[in-house]
């Protein structure tokens, strides 16, 4: 059984919360793309946890977590994340965390270059809103075949040293001549790699073989995504995307078993819209600044990885319908419905008005998206606390109508409804 849990929108949909909930029925949870540039916040009976690299299934002792070859991994950040979780009582060892030998290493110079370039672009207002974690530069060097992989840490020999020298020589052309920085030291980078070889070599393995054997043995595998469909490098709002493929179809590939196909795709979407970073975000135009401030505070909309205030707006049916199609969703989970408890009237973006005066329900790209304005439908709110509700029929009629209207607009059934951050604060519809 291969299941993907993916984001429908711009990211921050509450995927970690749903992975934590649903992983009780799975043997393995595997991340298949991205790095530490986004985070999953999970709250359960063990506490509140912020995860950037490690799959959310790590919070269940019986689950084995996999970091797939499609990821880019900063060992320095990973070491700190493991230490932080250990302080909270989460045991992590090579028995329950397996790192692909094909995953690409984010080096210190990738992080440095990310910050330098974002600073350069910001002088003319052309910045991307990068998290400055080095993700784009790691992926860029990966495709130029100028990176090391986690498997190299298991074989720190002359061949790896020679490759590192070649990589650093190339990188210094950029760091010195473009950014005017001191050259990267091969000796310092080698020592850095030697340190993390000692730390992580026991975790590194052929996860493709591990996942293949697990699948053949009938184990249930849950694939966990970072960000959402609108941040996919190919299908998202380019160039304001991540640098990897966030869509579910890539899950078996990025995890390490490209010959396998998904059995189930579960899409996660919020009961409203949120977005971190630059780029078009039509939904925010449907609310006043004051209304958005109130929504942001009720939803605690601040980035788990960066702490940045998120941009917010009403539920965007145009963007969500596109995301559902990209992810090939069989069913949906709607998160943070309880955040809307305070609203007397709830806006929903049902279409876009384009620059030529026409309206569309299709999600556009480029200049058309930049100029789009929201078409808004108002729905009555329920204006009461729903955090204690566990059955769909016990929700106020207005809340039930809101859910079914969203189903109608995006064209996919909502099976799970989150009404709070706790594990059990979820309605599961038959």
Q: Which residues are annotated as a binding site for Mg(2+)?
A: 12, 39
12 is catalytic: yes
Q: Which residues are annotated as a binding site for GTP?
A: 11-17, 39-41, 310, 336-338, 418-420
**What span, in angstroms and rounded, lies between the C-alpha atoms of 199 and 39?**
23
**What span, in angstroms and rounded, lies between the C-alpha atoms of 263 and 222?**
10
Say which of 20, 36, 40, 152 is annotated catalytic: 40
Q: Which residues are annotated as a binding site?
A: 11-17, 37-41, 131, 145, 304-310, 336-338, 418-420
Q: Which residues are annotated as a binding site for IMP?
A: 12-15, 37-40, 131, 145, 308
Q: List active site positions.
A: 12, 40
């Amino acid at each position: 059984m291969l299941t993907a849990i993916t984001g429908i929108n711009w990211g921050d949909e509450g995927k970690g919360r749903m992975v934590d909930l649903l992983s009780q029925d799975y043997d393995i949870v595997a991340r298949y793309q991205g790095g530490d540039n986004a985070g999953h916040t999970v709250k359960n009976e063990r506490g509140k946890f912020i995860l950037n690299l490690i799959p959310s299934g790590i919070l269940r002792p019986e689950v084995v977590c996999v970091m797939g070859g499609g990821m880019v991994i900063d060992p320095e950040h990973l070491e700190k994340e493991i230490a932080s979780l250990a302080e909270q009582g989460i045991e992590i060892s090579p028995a329950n965390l397996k790192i692909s030998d094909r995953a690409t290493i984010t080096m210190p110079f990738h992080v440095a270059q990310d910050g330098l370039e974002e600073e350069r672009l910001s002088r003319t207002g052309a910045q991307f809103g990068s998290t400055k974690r080095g993700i784009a530069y790691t992926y860029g060097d990966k495709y130029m075949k100028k990176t090391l992989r986690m498997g190299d840490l298991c074989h720190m020999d002359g061949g790896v040293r020679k490759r590192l020298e070649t990589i650093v020589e190339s990188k210094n052309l950029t760091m010195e001549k473009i950014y005017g920085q001191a050259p990267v030291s091969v000796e310092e980078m080698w020592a850095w790699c030697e340190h993390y070889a000692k730390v992580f070599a026991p975790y590194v393995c052929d996860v493709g073989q591990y996942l293949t054997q697990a699948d053949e043995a009938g184990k249930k595998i849950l694939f966990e995504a970072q960000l959402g469909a609108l941040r996919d490098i190919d299908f998202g709002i380019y160039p304001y995307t991540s640098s990897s493929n966030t869509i579910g179809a890539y899950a078996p590939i990025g995890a390490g078993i490209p010959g396998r196909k998904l059995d189930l795709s579960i899409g996660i979407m919020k009961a409203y819209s949120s977005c971190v970073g630059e780029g078009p975000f039509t939904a925010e135009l449907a609310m006043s600044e004051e209304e958005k401030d109130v929504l942001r505070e009720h939803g605690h909309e601040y980035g788990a990885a960066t702490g940045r205030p998120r941009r917010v707006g009403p539920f965007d049916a145009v963007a969500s319908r596109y995301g559902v199609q990209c992810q090939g969703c069989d069913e949906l989970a709607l998160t943070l419905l309880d955040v809307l408890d305070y609203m007397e009237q709830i806006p929903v973006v049902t279409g876009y008005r384009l620059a030529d005066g026409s309206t569309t329900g299709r999600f556009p790209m480029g200049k058309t998206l930049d100029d789009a304005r929201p078409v808004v439908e108002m729905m009555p709110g329920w204006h009461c606390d729903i955090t204690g509700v566990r059955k769909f029929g016990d929700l106020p009629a207005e809340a039930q109508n809101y859910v079914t209207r969203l189903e109608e607009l995006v064209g996919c059934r909502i099976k799970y409804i989150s009404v709070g951050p706790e594990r059990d604060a979820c309605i599961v519809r038959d």
